[in-house]
Structure formats: C-alpha cells, structure tokens
Amino acid sequence: MPLVQISMLPGRSAEQKRALLAEVTEAVARTCKVAPEQVRILIAEIPAEHWAVAGISIAESAARKKEGR
C-alpha cells in the first residue's frame, strides 16, 4: 500500500487539491502496479513562517521582495 506525503504552502483551492489527489493516485497506482484503492495520500499545508530556504522563511523572503530588498 503506497503512502505519498505532499507538503505545500497553503493557498490552493479545494478543487486544485482534488485534482492533485486524483492525478497522484493515478500515477502511483500505474507506476506501482496497485489498485487506486490501495494508494494513500496525505497533504500537509505548511505555513510560510515554518518553511525556510537557505535559513530564511518563505514569509520573510516574500516580505523582503515586497519591500524591494
């Protein structure tokens, strides 16, 4: 039973998440040769303040860009 964990920033609509779940399920089922009913997917929406690249949170990076820094 494949388990896929997806981490992403908040902001996608319910419809976008439904489409993501459907397409990932299809790809995993096909690739792993399992029934779609065996595929499990978890979506974790991580706040921008809790996600960093090179030691700078995405929230801080966005604020800097907005300020022109």
Q: Say how many domains are in the chain.
A: 1
SS (H, E, C) the chain: CCEEEEEECCCCCHHHHHHHHHHHHHHHHHHHCCCHHHCEEEEEECCHHHCEECCEEHHHHHHHHHHCC
Query: Looking at 2, 10, 36, 47, which residue is catalytic?
Result: 2
Q: Is the pLDDT of residue 69 over 80?
A: no
Q: Structural domain of residue 9, as residue ranges? A: 3-67
Provide the pLDDT for residue 17: 99
Domain of 14, CATH number, reads 3.30.429.10
- Concerning whether 47 is annotated as a catalytic residue, the answer is no
Provide the pLDDT for residue 63: 93
For tokens 């978890």, the residue is 42
Nearest residue to 50 via CA among 60, 35, 40, 64 = 60
Provide the pLDDT for residue 68: 86
Q: Give 10-63 pLDDT, tens digit per residue.
A: 999 999 999 999 999 999 999 999 999 999 999 999 999 999 999 999 999 999
Residue 8 in contact with residue 42, Cβ under 8 Å?
Answer: no
